[in-house]
Amino acid sequence: ALKEDRLKLLEGYKSFRFLKLDIKDQKDVVDLFKKESPQRVLHLAAQAGVRYSIQNPYVYIDSNIQGFINILEGCRAIKTEHLVFASSSSVYGGNTKVPFSEHDNVDHPVSLYAATKKANELMAHTYSHLYQIPTTGLRFFTVYGPWGRPDMSPMLFTKAILADEPIQVFNHGDMMRDFTYIDDIVVSVNETLFKTATPNSNFNGQHPDPATSHAPYRIFNIGNSHPIPLMQFIETIEDALGKKAIKKMMGMQAGDIKITSADTSELNQWVNFKPNTSIKEGVTRFIDWYKNYY
């Protein structure tokens, strides 16, 4: 499996250790924290995906709510220096003002997945306030690249095009996505992990800012800031493969949003980095990896 092959690559590093456990298991998670005492925690484990959350709601509560409270409790048990966790651009839900800013209200999720990610942000803030644990939430925008998830569009499209099978194009292609290349995500995550969240000294409870707090808590968008039409993304894959897609036009999927667009000025100000890999470069690298791997 893809994830097992990824793991083999990591196991070549001396400083890497893999421990298999279920984040839903409270005792195992808290015991691990007590045993290892991590100074900085990067929490990326979750049940992801908008469409799957409509068919299987309970697994999202298990992984994203139960799993996340166990991570928070682990951090509390040892007073972790900084917790960085994956949120999602899907929290913007029904918002139509673009680009999406962390300072915008995100109280209208349109999928259960988005609701669990919004809940994670609220839970993290609560622990930052109660226990002074610095927490940073990162809202990832449509991540793609080598070693990506098999259920995401780049992998699905590439596999189908090479097999002469139709690809599903939702909302008849009338969608835009802020595709963000994995290497840009990695740099952003690393930079934020080592810059601990701090309270906002100008925080005003009369007009509370959703992205900061009186507690050591921060929220950042991580996106390319150049949303592109879905049809252009498909064309870029076609060009890289030298082969046309057979397109099956579909209606809008429940829980989906028409456009995602990240305002990353806060991230840039905080860690002096801005994701900048072009879609052509990113897709070319992805296709090179895909052909090599499969």
Q: How many domains does the chain have?
A: 1
Residue-range definition of the domain harbouring residue 93: 20-293
Q: Kindly give the pairing relationship between strand 40-43 and strand 82-88.
A: parallel
pLDDT for the residue 2: 95
Q: Is residue 121 part of a domain?
A: yes
Q: Is residue 2 part of a domain?
A: no
pLDDT for the residue 51: 86
The answer to whether 223 and 262 have CB atoms below 8 angstroms apart is yes
pLDDT for the residue 240: 98
Is the pTM higher than 0.85? The answer reads yes
Q: Is residue 169 part of a domain?
A: yes
The conformational region for residue 84 under phi > 0 = left, psi -120 to 50 = alpha, else beta, is beta
Sign of torsion over alpha carbons 21, 25, 28, 29:
positive
Q: Is residue 132 part of a domain?
A: yes
pLDDT for the residue 93: 96
pLDDT for the residue 128: 99
pLDDT for the residue 289: 98
Q: Is residue 216 part of a domain?
A: yes
Q: Which of 60, 92, 113, 181 is catalytic?
A: 113
Q: Does 113 qualify as catalytic in the annotation?
A: yes
**Which CATH number is 97's domain given?**
3.40.50.720
Walk along the chain (294 residues) in steps of 10 and give the mean pLDDT of each run: 95 95 98 98 95 94 99 98 98 96 97 98 99 99 96 96 98 97 98 98 96 99 98 98 98 94 98 97 98 96
**What angle, rounded to 10 degrees, do the helices at 112-131 and 67-78 form?**
20
- Using CA atoms, how far apart are residues 41 and 100, in angstroms rounded to an integer? 27
Q: Is residue 9 part of a domain?
A: no
